[in-house]
Amino acid sequence: MIHLLGINHRTAEVAVREKIWFSDDEIRLFLPAVKEKFFDECFMISTCNRTELYGVTKAEIADTTTEELSTLLINEVTTTKHASPDVNQKHFYHLQDIHAVNHLMKVATGLDSMVLGDVQILNQLRDHYALASESKVSGPVVNKLLQSAVHAGKRTKTETEISKGAVSVSYAAVDLAAKIFFDLSEKKVLLIGAGETGELTAKHLVARGIGKLLITNRTLKKAEEVAASLNAVPVPFETFVSTLSDVDIVISSVGATEYVLTMQQLKEIVKGRKQSPLLIIDIGVPRNIDPAVNKFENVFLHDLDSLSQIVERNHARRRTCIPSVNGIILEELNEFNRWYLSHAIAPTIDHLRDVYDSIRKEELDVHIHKFSEKDKEIVDLLTRRIVHRLIQLPASELRNGKGDSRQQKEMKLQVIRELFGLHHHHEHLDTNEENIGEE
């Protein structure tokens, strides 16, 4: 049975989530330990927004109730992270089988992300799968589970628009600049403000391949730190106005009670720009730029309101994609479900065949002396065919039982095991790690 124990942005605030965050080294130590106690194979992902543990439970703990297993796993996680009593049972969710698989696919497709459609999680899933593989705790079910989830995420990215369009103000500012100038590689940007929003905006600019980035901040040291990390140029706050004569884009995000750029300051600058267009994006609260600068020819000012309208339109467009993404998830779930049942059925059918064949051989040993050498071959072939025919019916019924739910098929499987005294055993398949990577 597949189990998921998780904590995320929906169930716990960041102060709680960070107490359950596992570093890569911690995961390497934790997974083998938890596997030895509870699982045949397992996998964990831990990010700023979620920590989730997936595992295929051992046959030895089959009689453990869901509530008991949940308590044991929570205790294992919180004890390892020394997180009690700040983190407790109410912060966690515990899902089983198809519900656990469905949840992971929602994560991979961005439906369960803090920002709808954020599929950056795909790279994190691949990285964390590599940790499980490296720690030798993954197996055929985890391999197929991750393969299916990543495939759902990649299909979502290519077949829908749920990840398209800026849904944060900082990204919307950069997106707007890219749409207006098309090629940012030849443009020069001045970023006013190196706080959290300013730094995030700077990272988006660098990711878009901006030609040259200047960063100014009231505290020069902060501007220098951010500039150093992004190969940008720090500019003293007292002199940033002089840089406006040759920049193409200005993005401002500072906390100020007065305008950091006034109409009067820009008036002289505009004269020397020789009709060169200047895009100014003001994402400060209160506004950083005097709205009157929009009156200058070839100066184009956008503020937080206009960006917020862009963000909301993109959010609305992403929400319309949810049904399509759910359709992709359903297809991938059905495919995984077929594989999972086949994976569970194969060892039982093989074991049943062994039982039948053992009985066949015992009877042959008793009676084979009654036949001629030529007839012995015929009898051996005939009895093998009888065993094959006897196996066909239960195998076909288990795999294809028309109208049967998954639970009904699993119940039939259990009945066959109990009727024929078949012991639980697990089929070992080759891993399929390469399918988790890029196609």
The rounded percent of the chain whose pLDDT value lies above 70 is 93
* Residue 271 pLDDT: 83
Peptide bond into 234 cis (omega under 30): no
Report pLDDT for 429. 36
Q: Is the pLDDT of residue 435 over 90?
A: no
pLDDT in tens, 3-23: 999 999 999 999 999 999 999
Q: What is the mean pLDDT of residues 227-249?
A: 94
Q: Is residue 321 flagged as an active site residue?
A: no
Does the structure show a pLDDT above 60 at 244?
yes
Q: How confident is the model over 135-149, as pLDDT tens digits? A: 999 999 999 999 999
pLDDT-derived band at 411 (thresholds 50, 70, 90) equals: confident
pLDDT of residue 306: 87
Sequence-ordered list of residues with C-beta below 8 angstroms from that of 60, at least 6 positions apart, any chain: none
Bigger pLDDT: 307 or 399? 307
For the segment(s) 2-162, the CATH number from 3.40.50.300, 3.40.50.720, 3.30.460.30, 3.40.190.10 is 3.30.460.30
Q: What is the pLDDT of residue 412?
A: 72
Mean pLDDT over all residues of the chain? 88
Q: How confident is the model at residue 36 (pLDDT cuts 50, 70, 90)?
A: very high
pLDDT band at 27 (very low <50, low <70, confident <90, very high): very high
Q: Could you count the other beta carbons within 10 Å of the beta carbon of residue 342?
A: 12
Give residue 166's pLDDT. 76
CB 347 within 8 A of CB 425: yes
pLDDT at 165 over 90: no
Q: What is the mean pLDDT of residues 433-437?
A: 50
**Poorest-pLDDT segment among 2-11, 180-189, 210-219, 421-430:** 421-430
* pTM of the shown model: 0.71
pLDDT value at residue 428? 36
Locus of tokens 């960063």: 215
3-state secondary structure the chain: CEEEEEEECCCCCHHHHHHHCCCHHHHHHHHHHHHHHHEEEEEEEECCCEEEEEEEECHHHCCCCHHHHHHHHHHHHHHHCCCCCCCCHHHCEEEEHHHHHHHHHHHHHCCCCCCCCCCCHHHHHHHHHHHHHHCCCCCHHHHHHHHHHHHHHHHHHHHCCCCCCCCCHHHHHHHHHHHHHCCHHHCEEEEECCCHHHHHHHHHHHHCCCCEEEEEECCHHHHHHHHHHHCCEEEEHHHHHHHHHCCCEEEECCCCCCCCECHHHHHHHHHCCCCCCEEEEECCCCCCECHHHHHCCCEEEECHHHHHHHHHHHHHHHHHCHHHHHHHHHHHHHHHHHHHHHHHHHHHHHHHHHHHHHHHHHHHHHHHHHCCHHHHHHHHHHHHHHHHHHHHHHHHHHHHCCCCCHHHHHHHHHHHHHHCCCCCCCCCCCCCHHHHCCC
| Whether pLDDT at 425 is above 50 | no
Q: What is the per-residue pLDDT for 130?
A: 95
Residues 249, 191: Cα–Cα separation, whole Å: 8
pLDDT for 403 equals 55
Please give the CATH architecture assigned to the domain spanning 169-315.
Answer: 3-Layer(aba) Sandwich (3.40)
What is the rounded average pLDDT of the residues 159-182?
89
- For 257-306, how does the pLDDT look when each residue is reduced to its tens digit (9 = 90+)? 899 999 999 988 888 888 899 999 999 888 999 999 999 999 999 998 98
Q: Where residue 431 falls among pLDDT bands split at 50, 70, 90? A: very low
Topology match between the domains 2-162 and 169-315:
no
- Between 168 and 35, residue with greater pLDDT: 35
Checking if the pLDDT of 309 tops 80, the result is: yes
Provide the residue ranges of all domains of the chain, joining segments of one domain with +: 2-162, 169-315, 341-430
Task: For residue range 352-406, list pLDDT tens digits in order.
Answer: 888 888 888 998 999 988 888 889 889 889 999 998 888 888 777 776 666 566 6
Grade residue 427 by pLDDT with cuts at 50, 70 and 90: very low
Q: Which of 14, 29, 33, 48 is catalytic?
A: 48
Q: How confident is the model at residue 1 (pLDDT cuts 50, 70, 90)?
A: confident
pLDDT at 279: 94
> Which pLDDT does position 417 carry in this prediction?
73
